[in-house]
């Protein structure tokens, strides 16, 4: 292990360390080795330290002394922990086991790799040799610099990965006291205690993703990863490779070493599939198979990998209508529909608007900003096709416009004020209910089309209806 020591006739080198000859008495335990060290080890290009059974330094060569910014004379008699605060040398002394190539933290700004070799007499450990695994001081400095930089980079990316794969919102983060919302939270809490798939239904902007986060954090998988996939945001032809992963060379452009899929990343945690209504039929069939067998097979692969995850899915689309049109698999739907949570639209719990506004102002650092009664009433009368997400955007806009710290009706968007004015102007001359509802529906359609730039698919998702229903309503209103 260390050239020169084993040449001493009183020392025998073995796999479990150095053994002193039986003739060596207790008083001479390490004296022979110490003389060898002083003669041979002083000018070698490797750090060497010899410690006694009390972990005190008997010898330190000049290489190690320079590395530790001390001198051999000053180090002699010191406890090893003075230079290596977390040294395992006492543990090697206790167990008598060799440790090779172990990382060791120095008192200075970096760490290094060392060998710890016990010295034994009659199977009793009487000392330990500490040796660096480098050839010269320059190599130590360069390698340790690269090692520390690499360790910092790994920790940085690990923290980023942990934040990406972690849930953020608990049930307490879902603001509202209306019975509809409270009932949805109560149901979701009960479902969280199980391991069955959960399907979260609700219009765009109602907070379905918050419910998914909360279900994960209230489940027994809370310490596992929380992996989110927006099925609508990934091109249909790439979704399968994202979900299931792929092997190297599985298709043109595939990475050489392949890629781990989101399902595999969710092992022992939760997989959240948002906008699951946009998932292609082929991917639905493969995911159904994974749910049944608990094994995932990569694109281009032939061997499955065992996975253990809990599925939470969300959609704003009418899945039953999609089944009738052949756009969604019926067997997959019934696999998902075991436990369903319906998140109410904001228009169905407008009493919570003041609480939501207060929350948005607080988290944005504008808790001193207040709403007038007129502005609050205008917000309550609005239909909120974009739900809580739209309310948050409206409040952010209003805060940027106010200069007095008070949000009034003049700081609200025109569509909210136009609706308010319309209600006030016609308060004394209401039309038949059917006509009022028809006019109101037309205004909502116009507003939704305006918000999506006339995109029919986005408008249908925004309103929570199918495209065919949207086309029928637009024709009925001559839009």
453 and 407 belong to one structural domain = no
Domains identified in the chain, total number? 4
In a domain, 155, yes or no: no
User: What is the rounded CA–CA span in Å between residue 112 and residue 105?
Assistant: 7
206 and 321 belong to one structural domain = yes
320 and 257 belong to one structural domain = yes
Domain boundaries, position 460: 430-479
Q: Is the Cα torsion angle 59, 64, 68, 69 positive or negative in sign?
A: positive
48 and 27 belong to one structural domain = yes
- Reported confidence tier of residue 476, pLDDT bands at 50, 70, 90: confident
436 and 370 belong to one structural domain = no
Closest CA to 176 of 21, 356, 397: 356
340 and 193 belong to one structural domain = yes
User: What is the rounded CA–CA span in Å between residue 402 and residue 404?
Assistant: 6
206 and 297 belong to one structural domain = yes
Closest CA to 393 of 410, 379, 404: 379
pTM (predicted TM-score): 0.59
In sequence order, which residues have a C-beta less than 8 Å from that of residue 48 and are 6 or more positions away? 2, 37, 41, 59, 60, 61, 63, 64, 129, 130, 131, 132
pLDDT of 318 higher than 50: yes
335 and 200 belong to one structural domain = yes
CATH number of the domain at 90, please: 3.30.450.20
CATH number of the domain at 434, please: 1.10.10.60
419 and 435 belong to one structural domain = no
Q: For residue 81, give the DSSP letter.
A: G
Terminal Cα-to-Cα distance of the chain (whole angstroms): 87
- 41, 28 Cβ separation under 8 angstroms: no
User: What is the rounded CA–CA span in Å between residue 56 and residue 93?
Assistant: 11
Mean pLDDT over 249-258 rounds to 70
Could you say which of 295, 324, 344 is where a domain stops?
A: 344
115 and 256 belong to one structural domain = no
Classify each residue of 333-367 as buried b or exposed e, where b means 16 or more C-beta atoms within 10 Å of its C-beta: bebbeebebebbbbeebbebbeebbbbbbeeeebe
In a domain, 435, yes or no: yes
pLDDT of 259 higher than 50: yes
Between 85 and 250, residue with greater pLDDT? 85
185 and 315 belong to one structural domain = yes
- Reported confidence tier of residue 276, pLDDT bands at 50, 70, 90: very high
- 479, 444 Cβ separation under 8 angstroms: no
The per-residue pLDDT for range 413-444, each reduced to its tens digit, is: 888 877 544 444 444 455 577 667 777 788 88
Could you say which of 323, 344, 365 is where a domain stops?
A: 344
- 336, 313 Cβ separation under 8 angstroms: yes
């Amino acid at each position: 292990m260390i050239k020169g020591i084993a040449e001493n006739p009183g020392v025998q080198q073995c796999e479990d360390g150095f053994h002193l000859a039986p003739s060596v008495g207790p008083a001479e335990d390490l004296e022979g080795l110490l003389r060898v060290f002083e003669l041979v080890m002083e000018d070698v290009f490797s750090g060497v330290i010899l410690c006694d059974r009390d972990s005190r330094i008997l010898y330190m060569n000049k290489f190690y002394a320079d590395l530790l910014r001390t001198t051999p004379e000053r180090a002699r008699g010191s406890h090893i922990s003075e230079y290596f605060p977390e040294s395992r040398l006492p543990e090697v002394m206790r167990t008598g086991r060799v440790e090779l190539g172990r990382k060791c933290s120095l008192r200075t700004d970096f760490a290094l790799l060392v060998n710890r070799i016990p010295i034994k007499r009659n199977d009793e450990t009487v000392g330990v040799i500490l040796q660096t695994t480098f050839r010269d001081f320059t190599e130590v400095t360069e390698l340790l610099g690269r090692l520390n930089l690499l360790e910092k980079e790994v920790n940085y990316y690990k923290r980023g990965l942990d934040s990406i794969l972690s849930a953020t919102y608990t049930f307490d983060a879902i603001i509202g006291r209306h019975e509809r919302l409270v009932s949805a939270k109560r149901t979701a809490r009960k479902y969280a205690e199980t391991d069955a798939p959960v399907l979260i239904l609700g219009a765009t902007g109602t907070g379905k993703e918050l419910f998914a986060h909360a279900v994960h954090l209230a489940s027994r998988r809370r310490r596992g990863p929380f992996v989110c996939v927006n099925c609508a945001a990934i091109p249909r032809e790439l979704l399968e490779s994202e979900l299931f992963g792929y092997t190297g060379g599985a298709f043109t452009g595939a990475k050489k070493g392949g890629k781990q899929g989101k399902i595999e990343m969710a092992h022992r945690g939760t997989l959240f599939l948002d906008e699951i209504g946009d998932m292609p039929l082929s991917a639905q069939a493969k995911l159904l198979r994974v749910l049944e067998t608990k094994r995932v097979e990569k694109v281009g692969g032939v061997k499955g990998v065992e996975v253990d995850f809990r599925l939470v899915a969300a959609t704003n689309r009418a899945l039953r209508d999609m089944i009738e049109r052949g756009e969604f698999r019926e067997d997959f739907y019934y696999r998902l529909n075991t436990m369903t949570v319906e998140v109410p639209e904001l228009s169905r719990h407008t009493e919570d608007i003041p609480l939501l506004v207060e929350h948005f102002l607080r988290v944005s650092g504008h808790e001193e900003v207040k709403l007038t009664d007129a502005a609050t009433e205008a917000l309550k009368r609005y239909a909120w096709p974009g739900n809580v997400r739209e309310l948050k955007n409206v409040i952010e806009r209003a805060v940027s416009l106010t200069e007095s710290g008070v949000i009034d009706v003049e700081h609200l968007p025109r569509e909210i004020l136009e609706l308010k004015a319309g209600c006030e102007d016609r308060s004394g001359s209401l039309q038949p209910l059917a006509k009022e509802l028809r006019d109101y529906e037309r205004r909502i359609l116009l507003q939704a089309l305006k918000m999506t730039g006339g995109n029919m698919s986005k408008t249908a998702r925004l309103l929570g209806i199918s495209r065919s229903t949207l086309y029928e309503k637009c024709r009925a209103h001559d839009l």
